[in-house]
Structure 1
């Protein structure tokens, strides 16, 4: 695969290679010239939307797989035309990252037509579950699930999508009592704005069709408890309500704080943290609640904007430390050809999160 580094970075690298310095000095100089605070975890292919989990004592990462297909670029994300999923693992932070190869392909999903976007994974009673969005034969996003006997797959897709599912960006949170909750949704290309009360509204086809007025409550991510077999929703999806400090829903016109896509939930000190992308303002924001359904009170940003239009993240604990996984476009400079990264995450004494700046 060609390595589409920005021209300025290629020039800097060539100049450093010609300089009469030791290897250690050259490495230090390269790091000083980089504008990026964290290094790509995977460089032999393009990866994005990293969902990280600790399974069997290792960190497993379930990203989407960016490729160049020639698909037309549009406001609905048509150029994000991914066709399979790979699984990656590392023994610990900083260790070598292992590519377990393709674990699920588009042609092996009976109901799907295109666009394998951001997935997530879960574990229960010896089985591993991969949750993924794809467009059905009517070009509407649904959420599917595939099952494996180990965290590295391969995964076998169920013959049909999850009943009642729609939109994209599935994420599964397992609470301390063993209950599992599915979060999902994304506006614009994610089609969440096309649905009301779980039903597709006729005539909505554009990225803003169905978006509330700026002074109205924003569209919220959806949440539903999963069935015991992890294959269906046990209840009708509800809004995971995001509110301000006064308890008022975040408004549709509040682009710095409103939900756009990429919901993720983790638990810290008995509090539930809902984090998500603000989309066109490029933050990873977060809000805190007392239960998996919310409401969640907006507190600030986990991550400031990266290079590239999109961002999508996950947060996981490993051996007493917390880590943020995210993506940017350092390797390619192209919006749809991304690379995954990680950074250590720190909490303040009051439970708020210290904002991470991905750029130097």
Structure 2
């Protein structure tokens, strides 16, 4: 394929495998492409229902376009460690879907009366359902991770993509979707049929593409959120109203356009353990082909008047990292980018291997915040590093001039090795780590990991 690096095929992982390389950092899933995340809280866990981008290999989908043939679901109790529950719906398992459509775009899932209703768009093999283009189907399960059974037919009188469901405080359910405009309608109690005619939700921006509605309610305000192409790529916007079907009034931008030009974005917003979060996507693992995307999470805040404070995307993501984890410093919270610090892929031929920190000027540094050292029992730290001409790396607390935590001498060579150095004084509680180049021409670091004395 042109326009992007050929990536290696995905490694097949068993069901219910915890993704150890997805610890409180963005993107949260780093062994496959994920996009269009809808996040829900079921049974005190966060479940994320994304679409699943795959490579547009010969014979699958349209070249240089979005290619999706199935859905997975992921869950977490802490937004740090994510479990892949495996495939839940495949285009070949949906009775009405085109089995070669490769168009299983943004989904949603809600719970009602002990059942879980998974809504998804795809192309139908029979145009008698809703005509040409996309229809929206439903699959039903007894558990949030499935197994899901697709219904025999798509929802009648619904033509479009990006389904979203709101169950209001009075129990009435609403379905939203997009096709040129954003539409809304009431759902019947069975959650499988419309209870009202589709309605165009007006008073949203007229110029440019709008899609991906996600509606939620907070303090009596209904928030209609959506991606919108104001210029060349999508930014995340929102409008507010007093009724689930509007009218809505544009109220601001949640996230600006991607600085690297990723054409799409897609959002959901969730409150979990007294904190609000924005789930969205970016093409972190496929920088040269923005049709292969990856899910991110960042914290979201409201102003006193209910306005959403604009979210600045981060690599660090959310949550606290344990000092005993492999700390991926390349998912930094701050970097001396104008003083010789950068990140790069470990292997450009297989981006799922992740990133590395590159320090190539004296005093270059990266900061990684919110590391939990507990009761201060760390005695040593292991670096996975390489230095072509040899070098000295130092970990400090708080800032590049903060107290020295550990210093390691990295031998001259081109092969990655692990180096273990003592901790000067074990810190306690939450700390910010700063990696600094103290000597040598260039040092590259994959991860660091602290050990307690046994």
Work out whether residues 305 and 358 of structure 1, in 8 Å CA contact, stay in contact via their aligned partners in 2: no
1:286-307 superposed Cα distances (whole Å, 9 cap, x missing partner): 0000010101110111111234
CA distance in 2, matches of 1:148, 1:54: 16
TM-score with structure 1 length normalisation?
0.74
Q: Alpha-carbon deviation of 1:96?
A: 0.2
- 2:99 matched to 1:85? no
CA 1:133/1:51 → structure 2, altered by over 3 Å: closer, same or farther?
same
Q: Given the alignment, which residue of 78, 81, 96 partners 1:111?
A: 96
Distance 1:242 1:316 in 2: 25
* Mapped partners of 2:154, 2:234: distance in 1: 30
Which structure has more strand as a fraction of its residues?
2
SS of aligned partner of 1:98: strand
DSSP-derived class of the 2:92 partner: helix
Cα distance in 1, alignment partners of residues 294 and 62 from structure 2: 21
Written as runs of structure 1 = structure 2, the 5 A alignment for 1:190-269 is 220-243=181-204, 250-252=205-207, 255=208, 260-269=210-219
**Which residue, 321, 343, 349 being the options, matches 2:275?**
321
Residues 48-85 of structure 1 deviation map (CA, whole Å, 9 limit, x = unaligned): 000000011110000000001333347xxxx2121110
| Distance in 2, Cα, partners of 1:81 & 1:331 | 16
1:108/1:157 contact within 8 Å kept:
yes
Greater percentage in helix: 1
Aligned-partner Cα distance in 1 for 2:211–2:136: 14
1:174 CA displacement:
1.2
Between 306-315 and 164-173, report the one with greater CA deviation.
Answer: 306-315
Q: TM-score, length-normalised on structure 2? A: 0.59
Contact 2:56–2:63 (CA under 8 A) maintained in structure 1: no
Per-residue Cα deviation, 1:248-295 (whole angstroms, up to 9, x for no partner): xx333xx4xxx6110000111110000000034421000000010101
Structure 1 range deviating more: 65-74 or 130-139: 65-74
Superimposed CA distance per residue, residues 213-252 of structure 1 (whole angstroms, 9 cap, x where no aligned partner): xxxxxxx310011110101111111112235xxxxxx333
1:62 to 24, 49, 59: 49
Q: Distance in 2 between matches of 1:91 and 1:320?
A: 14
Instruction: Give the whole-Å Cα distance in 2 for the aligned partners of 1:129 and 1:305.
Output: 32
The question of whether the paired residues in 2 share the 8 Å contact of 1:38 and 1:358 is answered with no
RMSD (Å), alpha carbons: 2.1
1:97 correspondence with 2:82: yes
Instruction: Give ranges in structure 1 of 5+ residues lacking alignment.
Output: 7-36, 188-219, 244-249
**1:80-131 Cα distance to aligned partner (Å, 9 max, x none):** 12111000001023x2000000011111101111111110001101000000
Question: Which is worse superposed, 306-315 or 47-56?
Answer: 306-315
- Native 8 Å contact 2:233 2:264 kept in 1: no
CA distance in 1 between counterparts of 2:311 and 2:265 reads: 13
What's 2:109 paired with?
A: 121
Whole-Å Cα distance in 1 between the matches of residues 206 and 283 of structure 2?
30
Alpha-carbon offset, residue 5 of structure 1: 8.4
Deviation at 1:335, TM superposition (A): 1.1
CA–CA separation in structure 1 for the residues paired with 2:113 and 2:153:
23
3-state DSSP of counterpart to 1:103: strand
- Which structure's CA Rg is the greater one? 2
Q: Does 1:173 pair with 2:123?
A: no
**Higher relative contact order by CA 8 Å / sep ≥ 6: 1 or 2?**
1
